[in-house]
Structure 1
Amino acid sequence: MSIEPFNKYHLCNFNERTTTEDLPTEAIRQLWSCNWSTTRLQTILDNWQENKNVAPSLEAADTLLCQAIELTLLFVQNNFTGPFQQLEEISNILQAKKFVEYDPFKRLMENGEEINPNVKLGELLVIAKETVNLLRQHWSDALYLQWWHMRLIYIQQQVLDELTSNLYEELKVIADWLLKNVHNVDDKELQALLYLEVANSYLLFHRTQKSDAVLEDMCQYFGIVLNVEGLLGVRTKFQQKPLPQLCLKVQHTNSELPLALATNGSTIIPKLLLLDDDTRLERIRFIEPKDNDVMTLPSVLQALVLAKVKQLKRSQPKDRLADEELEPYIKTLLYQEHGPLQVRQSALLLNCVQESNQRRTVERSWKQCEGAVKLLDGTIYSLPERLSYAFASFLQPKWQVQLQLCELLMSLGMTKTALDVYLEIQAWREVIHCYTKLELRHKAAEIIQQELAKKPTVLLHCLLGDAIDDPNCYETAWEFSKHTSGRAQAHWGTYYFRKAEYADAIPHLEKSVEINSLQEKIWLRLGYAAIQLERWELAVHAYITYTHIEPLGFESWNNLAKALVKLGDKVRAHKVLSESLKCNYNNWKVWENFMVVSVDTCNLEDALNAYSRLSDLKDRYLDLEVLCVTIGLIVEGKADAKGQTQERLRKKAVTLMAQQCIKHGNEPKVWELAALLAITPLNRAQKLVKAVNAYTTKELEWATKQPYALKVIQICQQACELSLEATKEHTAEETDVMITSQLNSARLAAQAVLRATAKVIEKWTENEEALVVLREQLDTLTAKVKERMNAN
């Protein structure tokens, strides 16, 4: 069966450019009509039961795939996009068919993770997967069939409450294959859609780097540039002076990407609600009038901008600065006149998150999110409008949108209102939190026990354990799952973890990640518990795995480095801390750890850079031990681990010490270290004189302390010796005036030291020999100064 019976119309990327006349077969025309009745569903289910064990013919493959897609889209409609129609009738049909072998709570489970209790008509998704898998056995190289396989993985993961490693491994294989064959798609817009859907799928599994790489490949292939520029503008009604504001500019040269007016022109997409604020403007007003015109983007580029902003949000730290960087992307999407409904819905929901922590916009955020929930239940939009570009638009199940609304309600103090919604969507973890906040924790246990009596699940057993602090509930959940639930072990281990009983927690946490390796929080807890028990190898394993899943948490990189140092692997610790700095450039603790490990591994340039950064982050930062070791190694000519030249290292060290001398001019050791790096005798002598002054200023009674006094005398001797040497060896830039001035400075410093030590010389016979040398140097200096003065 080498001929592929599938074509681009099977993708069902509903848009207004495609007419009924374009569709090649009756099955595809029926699919695109979206007239899906219960009678038709009966026919599809009967056909599947009759032919599920029969090898499909070339002619039957088209019909089979269309029916699988119809079941998938019917499932998506009733769980993701709305409108939620004929649920009861369809449920009755499925019950009458007695699809026991297609129980979604068993067949859609992965790595022991159950599907969300809000999932409706799960049997349709199971049958669709079975149909696609049957077809893939015969047409393994069918691109559009494999594309639908990836979409089914995406949908299945969305209805599971936790990420699962099995689905991710399956996704990786199919995504790689699709990207290798993307050029076999003969439509440029569909090529772009394939890139987007692969990137979005990676992002669903928190693989931000892979997602970014796919988006970059897409932009390069299509000649697209997303550029954020700073343009002068004002944000408030009373702002007099314009300030730089961020604005997104999208450049693209591919004329084969159809305009949004052509693909989604008749869809009246929802608008951003008016802010109605007495201070802030509805939109940034740029000084140049042309900059206030929002670029009109094709639908597929709107999906690209959405994908990019989602990728950036996932890959950046959660702070106000990062939010401001995302704003131009979101606003560009929100002010488009035409475009896909799902892109606008996703952009509005994302904007709700961005505005929810700002006093002036939090109310709009709540109302907008409420509107998004109502849109799902409403009948304003047709099903083709809801499904247009849907798989490139970060579809979310209805209950996830409701959860977002509840978070906003909670932030506004509407706990009871949020509780009602949580109860409706069976978000039991959040129900416990609400009752705890309302000081009614016992009510949470009662409700969960009632639900357990109706239909026991692993999650309910675990949450009952959380509510009443009883580890026996986790054991019950484990037995109920027949030893397959990673969630049961995760809750069990977390119970002991919170009690700081790490030895008891570790076996359960290890078992949990053995079942499902994509549990970020559990890897973190396992790593922390291992560190507390000084099980360094386990800690390294846990944190390495976590950083592969979530590479942006600087604390995990930091803890990984600590464990590696404890194991004696400082070279790897240095690389790990370098990654940590990419996640949090402004954390002084990470920089300090990086600096110390850099010194230990002889990465001298990194040590200097780290010290310089610490000086910026911490006012008056000073670590003399690190400076002494680093400068000492550079002066000795020690090779840098990365092969940097001595000239480069010395130059960086001189710059750093110049900064330290300015900041810590009263610290004598700083001047001594700076003197070590000085090239000419004159330069060294100047710094040593300052060191003598710093020593004598720092300790007022220095002459009465023998070791301290001896140190001052010795430094003064070096300054005098180098000052005299400068008269014979100096550069062209070092003038006679400069040399004479330095001779005089050294002479005065020697006089001050001798004067201060004269009163206690009989007490410290150890210093007498050094003082004799210093007196001789003073006499020589005095004579030399007179000689040079007379010569002038």
Structure 2
Amino acid sequence: MPWSCELLITHLTRSREMAAASLPLVEKSFLRGKWDAQISETTAPATDLAKLVVECRFRDALTSSQARTLFRPISRDLDLPFKGLLDLSIHPGSDSLEQELVRLTLAIACLHAFVQANWTGPDLGIRPLDLLTGDSDGTSSWTEESLHAKAITELAYGGEPAYHLVKDPAFLRLSQLLVGLTYNHIQSISWWRLRVAKVHQQILDEPVITPEDFRALLEPLGSTLASEPDLAGRLHLELGLLEHHFSQDKLAKEDFIKAARSTGLEYELTGALGKRTKFQVNELSQLVLLAESQLKDDDSAGEASNNIKQDESSQTPDARAGPDTTDANVPETMALNDDTLLEQTEFTSSHPAGSSSRLSHIDPSSQPPLHPLDQCILLSLCLNVRNTSPAHGLTAEQMAPYVARVISHPRNWSVHTMALLLRSRLESSRTRTVERSTFQLQALIDQMPTADSAPSERLLYFHSIPLPSRWEMEKELAQRFLSLGVIKSALEIFERMEMWEEVVKCYGALEKPERGITIVRDLLEGRKAEADAVVARGKVGTSTRRRALEDGTRHAKFWCLLGDLEPANAQAHYEKAWTLSGETSGRAVRSLGGWYFARGKYREAIGCLEKAVKINPLLTRSWFILGCAFMRVEDWEGAKNAFGRCVAIDEEDGESWNNLASMYLRIGGRKTIALEEKDVSVVPYPKSTPDDGALPTPGISFENKLLAFRALKQGLRFSYENWRMWYNYMIVAMDVGELQESCRALSRIVEQTGDKAGALAVDEDVLDRLVDAVTRAPAKAEDAAAEAPPDGSGSGNRSVVHNPNEGHGLYRPVRQLFEHTLLPRLSTPRIFRSYARLLSWQGEWADALKAYLDAYRAGPASTLTLTSSTTLSAESNLEKFREAVAEVHEIVDVLRNFGPRVEGYKWRFQARSVVRAFVGRAKEFEDEPEWAGLVELLEELKGKDTD
């Protein structure tokens, strides 16, 4: 029976009130991916639609009356953008809250339908054309192909094209438009914009920075959700994953740790006794990750969680420790089947090695299952180990326990898939595991289209893990084949996925570069269609219309690729790409800037590269080349800013740290820059220095010198083997008074270059100043403390004894520099004299005399043959003779002064031997005035050593 108008109004009003009361719960259900049972049962259409979307019934939601109304085209002209085809605005006079909820619901439905089609599977039962075809005959000419091409064009962003073979891109574009509307009642809209942006980033060729500051936008929501540990954990985790995608490792790590704190996850990387091989007899300490969840388990983990809980009660500890792959709702875990390695580490100890651990109550061989959200956090922390650690075997060893902890208890399809993928990556570089690694990756790709688990379970934690799309996983498989040398199999995958840049690389590896050029030209000239589906349809006029709608940024990329392949015409090709893209292609202007830089056209390179970094400011290589171009034109301020951006994006870029330090030293100075290979600059050390020990750097403030010192210190953490950086560091450390660091740098330089460079590896000016800094203090520590000014405590300032940059605080590292680094490798007069001065300061007279004699023997007075038959000119010979005579007098004075202080040392005999030997080799200079002085000295030394 039809309702009366009054009853209808009353019903609608009550429905709206109930919908408003349950709105926060509906939003939380969207975010969690599980319908909250506390939501009142209503007949409100918006709430019913929301429940369909949470349950992943996308076909029912997107074919509902609300969707038909919202997505009804208002124009027949397909040349208009999607925004012009649809009327998505809030209509005045109607319930704005309910309209906002409907729009958010359909935005989520479109987003998750797109994710299901391209990430999680199984295949959808609806296409974008089903949404947008109206009742009028004006849309009957629309095709899936035309919608696809329009969406791909509009999804290109920041000069980067979207992957053209992505499935149903119109769903993502519609979701973008819907979340981009104005919302006055939806509190979580910024979170959904973050999720849409994350998905959008993954279909672009390269990451492009988003204009929205999601961290600031989501801060109020984070405060609101502080009492909801699972939602707060999800929020921090998703922010961290976005930063991870942009290679902002520090920010990502902070967010991952905040996520763990929010959920109460406790974890600790420690050791426990165990075995890793089948024939291992002795138990050794093995790395293990202990972890325990504080979140309450519910039905969110799906049936897999329940099945595992039921099975665990009847399993032995060893069985519970291993991966449970008996449940059909998780991907298959491939067995290792190795004759030596165990499937997993067998822990024989029931307690970790650290007895003081807060998780010492956990048995490493039988850890409790983790909540799926905590598993996501562990996998993200594992990614951070990879991002912030050097690329060597230890990194894989650190990551493996995180992955093993998640794999041991499968709780969710997507989370387990991500864990298996990470294990596959870790095992790809080991001989005994590379086979399973490849097979596992292939199995993960094959299981995506299957229906072995519900779509709701697959989407439950999708936003909390960096799960790659299906085409990215296939690309990874092809790259795995390339690393194994199976080039043709890789080529087959790349061609099927139409990844033409990788196809060209494969032909280059097969020594068929001309084949790559032919493919790119065929694509540009229309002789080769990209999509096989287009060719299969064979419709008349399809190719022309497709080319009219095709993404210009993708064509621009082809021209860039052709420029890389044809260096002779590279400039014309890059300029063509830049014009074709409407001056939005970052790839084109980057390539053009690099082309100018390689040919010494630095002004032109700067103009291009400034446009490139404005389009995509996340690429360190563009900033680095821009900084080098600024250096070439002596624009130090511009170079400083460019290298500063380099290290802000990638703090492990040692060369950028070095060049940044050089820029600090050149701002305000008058030096001319000296560039070495790879544009690593070297700060020249001045040969003449003032007596106060400060290096002459006119016009450079101490603040800039200190900034340069800190930059070099940071850069050396990542370029420890770069002797040029150590040289710069030594000079700047000396300049700012960090003498102990300068001593350490000099030691590293000699260790790295001493074998090849010999005495040239030592900056003897620096060495002398280090010795001066030590010997200026009194020889006895108590005297140094007594002579120091008071520090206010009523006694002498004893800190001077421990100051690492002078006196006794510097003495130990300087002496180790001589005895462990310099003297075992090098023997020059100046090094021996500096060492002798250090020993004299300590009163070690015998060793000091030996060092002075070693200096004399290494000098010209002992080694030069001064006769008329030498190839030197007479004038040069005379000059050398006079220098040698001065050295003879100097060593005799040293023996006369220090000899008597050494008990039993016959210094006169030693001095006479030195003078006689020299006189015997210099008889050709008997007519010189200096000769008489030598004879007189020899007579003076005649006598007894007891005198």
Structure-1-length-normalised TM-score: 0.84
Kindly indicate whether residue 31 of structure 2 is the aligned counterpart of residue 6 of structure 1: no
- C-alpha displacement at 1:173, in angstroms? 3.2
Provide the identity percentage. Answer: 24
In the TM superposition, 1:612-623 aligns within 5 A as 612-614=747-749, 622-623=761-762
- C-alpha displacement at 1:542, in angstroms? 2.6
State the secondary structure of the residue aligned to 1:21.
coil
CA pair 51-624 structure 1, distance change in 2 beyond 3 A: closer
In the TM superposition, 1:45-56 aligns within 5 A as 45-49=67-71, 52-54=89-91
CA pair 490-135 structure 1, distance change in 2 beyond 3 A: same
Kindly indicate whether residue 450 of structure 2 is the aligned counterpart of residue 413 of structure 1: no
Kindly indicate whether residue 575 of structure 2 is the aligned counterpart of residue 475 of structure 1: yes
In the TM superposition, 1:32-111 aligns within 5 A as 32-37=54-59, 40-41=62-63, 43-49=65-71, 52-54=89-91, 57-86=96-125, 89-91=127-129, 93-94=131-132, 103-111=150-158
Output one character per residue of 1:433-464: Cα deviation in whole Å (capped at 9) or x when no partner: 12223344344344444444353532333323
Output one character per residue of 1:307-335: Cα deviation in whole Å (capped at 9) or x when no partner: 1111221222322333333222223223x
- C-alpha displacement at 1:117, in angstroms? 1.2
CA contact (8 A) 2:292 2:370 kept: no
Match of 2:472 among 386, 391, 400: 400
CA distance in 1, matches of 2:415, 2:200: 21
1:201 corresponds to which residue?
Answer: 242
Q: CA RMSD in A?
A: 3.8
1:735 corresponds to which residue?
Answer: none
- C-alpha displacement at 1:521, in angstroms? 2.9
Kindly indicate whether residue 381 of structure 2 is the aligned counterpart of residue 308 of structure 1: yes
In the TM superposition, 1:240-639 aligns within 5 A as 244-250=285-291, 254=294, 256=296, 265=305, 268-286=329-347, 288=349, 291-293=364-366, 296-334=369-407, 336-452=408-524, 453=526, 454=543, 455=547, 456=550, 457-467=552-562, 469=566, 470=569, 471-496=571-596, 504-531=604-631, 536-567=636-667, 568=669, 571=705, 572-614=707-749, 622-625=761-764, 626-635=766-775
- C-alpha displacement at 1:383, in angstroms? 0.6
Aligned letter for 1:458?
T
- C-alpha displacement at 1:408, in angstroms? 0.6
Output one character per residue of 1:693-740: Cα deviation in whole Å (capped at 9) or x when no partner: 35326775358564245335424533542454x5xxxxxxxxxxxx52
State the secondary structure of the residue aligned to 2:166.
coil
CA pair 698-339 structure 1, distance change in 2 beyond 3 A: farther
2:848 corresponds to which residue?
Answer: 687
Output one character per residue of 1:356-415: Cα deviation in whole Å (capped at 9) or x when no partner: 222222222221111121122222121112112111111322221111111011122222
Question: Which structure has the greater CA radius of gyration?
Answer: 2
Output one character per residue of 1:503-535: Cα deviation in whole Å (capped at 9) or x when no partner: 654432222222222233322333344456665
In the TM superposition, 1:96-245 aligns within 5 A as 103-136=150-183, 138-139=184-185, 142=187, 144-165=188-209, 167=210, 169-178=212-221, 181-182=222-223, 184-220=225-261, 224-239=265-280, 244-245=285-286
State the secondary structure of the residue aligned to 2:716.
helix
- C-alpha displacement at 1:760, in angstroms? 5.0
More helix by share: 1
CA distance in 1, matches of 2:833, 2:297: 67
State the secondary structure of the residue aligned to 1:413.
coil
State the secondary structure of the residue aligned to 2:844.
helix
Considering Cα pairs closer than 8 Å and 6+ residues apart, tell me whether 1 or 2 has the greater RCO. 1
CA contact (8 A) 2:128 2:171 kept: no
CA distance in 1, matches of 2:52, 2:177: 21
Structure-2-length-normalised TM-score: 0.71
CA pair 113-257 structure 1, distance change in 2 beyond 3 A: same
Output one character per residue of 1:759-791: Cα deviation in whole Å (capped at 9) or x when no partner: 3576475486589679868968x227xxxxxxx
Kindly indicate whether residue 37 of structure 2 is the aligned counterpart of residue 21 of structure 1: yes
CA distance in 1, matches of 2:822, 2:578: 64
CA contact (8 A) 1:112 1:485 kept: yes
CA pair 685-367 structure 1, distance change in 2 beyond 3 A: same
1:729 corresponds to which residue?
Answer: none
CA contact (8 A) 1:692 1:712 kept: no
Aligned letter for 1:632?
D
Higher mean C-alpha displacement, 89-98 vs 341-350: 89-98
CA contact (8 A) 1:721 1:777 kept: no
- C-alpha displacement at 1:672, in angstroms? 2.5
CA contact (8 A) 1:352 1:368 kept: yes
CA distance in 1, matches of 2:283, 2:849: 51
Provide structure 1 residue ranges, at least 5 long, that are not aligned to the other structure.
727-738, 785-792
Output one character per residue of 1:598-620: Cα deviation in whole Å (capped at 9) or x when no partner: 23444322212323444665676
2:890 corresponds to which residue?
Answer: 714
State the secondary structure of the residue aligned to 1:111.
coil
CA distance in 2, matches of 1:263, 1:776: 105
Kindly indicate whether residue 783 of structure 2 is the aligned counterpart of residue 740 of structure 1: no
- C-alpha displacement at 1:210, in angstroms? 0.8
Aligned letter for 2:37?
E
CA contact (8 A) 2:592 2:608 kept: yes
2:78 corresponds to which residue?
Answer: none
- C-alpha displacement at 1:164, in angstroms? 1.7
- C-alpha displacement at 1:685, in angstroms? 5.2
- C-alpha displacement at 1:595, in angstroms? 2.0
CA distance in 2, matches of 1:63, 1:688: 93
Aligned letter for 1:302?
Q
Higher mean C-alpha displacement, 288-297 vs 93-102: 93-102
CA pair 117-649 structure 1, distance change in 2 beyond 3 A: same
State the secondary structure of the residue aligned to 1:682.
coil
CA distance in 2, matches of 1:164, 1:723: 75
2:838 corresponds to which residue?
Answer: 677
CA contact (8 A) 2:198 2:242 kept: yes
CA distance in 2, matches of 1:255, 1:770: 92
Higher mean C-alpha displacement, 73-82 vs 107-116: 107-116
Higher mean C-alpha displacement, 125-134 vs 523-532: 523-532
- The number of residue pairs the alignment matches comes to 755
Provide structure 2 residue ranges, at least 5 long, that are not aligned to the other structure.
1-16, 41-46, 72-86, 308-326, 351-362, 527-542, 670-699, 778-799, 867-879
CA pair 110-665 structure 1, distance change in 2 beyond 3 A: closer
